[in-house]
Chain A
């Protein structure tokens, strides 16, 4: 649908990821200098110039698998390590948070304000590092340039595209359950009270006009909700009060990050079935990965001096248990790839799978061959 959705998806998911990692780094008492290095490394990679260039090109949204692979790589852009279970949980939290924000946006263009909230927080994370700060500022400019001229109808198309991406995801998140913004069935609470969006009137008035334009009658009706007037307009510029709280950091050290795996429904299985249809963009997705990995020094996981592991769960046992008990329908099927050498633009020859030639064969086949192969990837 909309060919301008990917940058917003990436930046907002990235922002959520940083909020969660920041919280975990504090909760696990990782030394401040290491924690800062992790945040700086990830943000530098996120805003890599070549990578963003690729991202901002008009294109269809990537598949869930491809996007998950991008974030997998991003999370490992530094000395921090995450086990499979923790990475799964991190991604669950990121996606459910942004789904919530997209759903709750009063107007479609408020998604841009949500994006600015994330950008503002990212800027704050790197405020002491001028080089990264300038990358972030440049990205603000790109966002403003690309999105502020769009009409409301075009923003709604972006929103509808995002909602298709998030369709059928109902993972329960502790912090949402506690705040009563999510029900126990995983669906978000959509309040029928509160301020109406800017540009909308509180429902309840019927006006009848004569042919010459004068008002003949006024009638009131009961709107069934409890609405109030719109709040003032948020800032769509580099600085300013965004007004909306959506997209701001909802985690603090004391609030744990938890998800509940139970309650997978038939619909999530069907959703993966729909998703396994052939993706003609697989080649472009791998191009993006190439750019991302191109801007990245692969950190060796072995070194115990600088490297450390972050756990998204309370204990190691919990993490292990989560990996074993994760329902099949919710596995992301990450493509495991390791870049060895970037030759030229023909992407498919550059990657040699860590796993054997079987996976490489499958990888090649994503690009050229029918749909059945994709579903073989787990």
Chain B
């Protein structure tokens, strides 16, 4: 169903972090950007669709004005909004937002870090664009920061802080930007597996809480009103977002899941875990009849690698890319 294509070499290897791969497709310029985090550096590769041109860039997590400290990056993700694309980098010290090619930093938000280290680590993790003009980033305290993004320029402001989670945020996902209207368009997940479902707006509204069973939800997606959640036990669960009804449960992996991705136009689901496997599934969801179907389509085993990132390269799921701990390449697969 899928076959391996030529890998993209990276300047350094991927770190073992959840959702450690982000992809941005720029159709007008026939380019795709990839970002992979290595400790305190974000590796960016820009590839042309004809496969002939590659260019690399590295972004360091450096807070302005503090020249001597380093800070480990927890996640780097592209946020595609109708008016602009931004690259958001979340680290132990704060949140940086760049133009999507990594050329200019347009915004910096510092986290409240205590003077002396405390038993609970402080960091930002979980990034998603929401609706037309928001970007949400999670924090280790459980808070979710909502940033208001103007259509251009650097006048980005912190519009709201959502405080429902008690444990560190792991991942955030949304659907329905632009013209679509959805009841729920944001889901946030934490270390205890608890999930909150929201509706964005000037004031974000909490629609539902789905309790966890003390099992970390490391990766989450939202599609057709359904929450797709990947857990540390290797399970994938599908919940109806606003009601919390469990529609499906899959014993998908033998180890901790690190990444989930959905190709929204075809319903293909990608799951990747520490067990070296990437699996492709097909989802069929009919909200009107409340029916959910999930079928397994394909396995890829990346030998001797704990996978930390897996993303579709396009909305149909024609191709996907994978990163692994200690691997200095992005492995690509294309439908046969």
A contact residues vs B (CB 8 Å cutoff): 1-4, 57-60, 103, 106-108, 151-154, 156-157, 159-160, 163-164, 167-168, 170, 183, 187-190, 192, 196-197, 199-209, 211, 213, 219, 221-225, 227, 266-267, 270-271, 274, 277-280, 369-371
Contact = CB atoms under 8 A, between A and B. Distances in A.
Contact of B304 (A189, A206, A211): A189
B207 interface: no
Interface in B295-316: 295-296, 299, 301, 303-306
B273 to A, nearest CB: 9
Nearest to A371: B68
Q: Interface on chain A toward B: helix, strand, loop, or mixed SS?
A: loop
B235 interface: yes
Identify the interface centre among B67, B167, B254: most chain A CB within 10 Å of its CB: B254
A213 B246 contact: yes
B234 A200 contact: yes
B296 A221 contact: yes
Nearest to A215: B249
Interface string B154-165: 000000000000
B13 A280 contact: no
Interface of B: 11-13, 15-17, 38-41, 60, 67-70, 72, 74, 92, 116-121, 123, 167-168, 170, 190-192, 214-216, 218, 232-235, 245-256, 275-277, 290, 292-296, 299, 301, 303-306, 325-326, 328
B68 A280 contact: yes
A153 B16 contact: no
Ranked 8 nearest A-B pairs via Cβ: A153-B191, A221-B296, A201-B251, A153-B216, A163-B16, A224-B299, A3-B117, A205-B251
A187 B275 contact: no
A137 B218 CA distance: 36
Contacts of A227: 254
A277 B61 CA distance: 11
A201 B123 CA distance: 31
A289 B276 CA distance: 40
Given A57-B117, A156-B218, A206-B249, 5 more contacts: A190-B304, A190-B306, A206-B294, A274-B12, A277-B40
Contacts, number: 183
Given A207-B249, A223-B299, A270-B12, A370 B67 contact: yes
A72 to B, nearest CB: 24
A219 B250 CA distance: 9
Contact of A201 (B192, B234, B295): B234
B69 A164 contact: no
A360 B117 CA distance: 28
A151 B167 contact: yes
B220 to A, nearest CB: 14
A60 B118 CA distance: 10
19 contacts: A57-B117, A152-B216, A153-B192, A153-B216, A160-B17, A167-B39, A192-B275, A192-B276, A197-B254, A200-B235, A203-B254, A206-B294, A208-B248, A227-B254, A274-B38, A274-B39, A277-B70, A279-B70, A371-B68
B116 to A, nearest CB: 8
B92 A202 contact: no
Nearest to A188: B304
Nearest to B10: A267
Nearest to B290: A211
Given A164-B72, A211-B290, A187 B11 contact: no
A163 B15 CA distance: 8
Contact of A187 (B123, B215, B251, B326): B326
A59 B191 contact: no
A206 B305 contact: no
A211 B246 CA distance: 8
B296 A192 contact: no
A266 B191 CA distance: 35
Nearest to A275: B39
B56 to A, nearest CB: 12
Given A60-B117, A203-B252, A227-B254, A192 B191 contact: no
Nearest to A183: B304
A267 B232 contact: no
A2 B121 contact: yes
Contacts of A153: 167-168, 170, 190-192, 216, 232
B117 A59 contact: yes
B68 A167 contact: no
B288 to A, nearest CB: 13
A224 B254 CA distance: 11
Contacts of B296: 206, 219, 221-222
Given A209-B248, A267-B13, A187 B256 contact: no
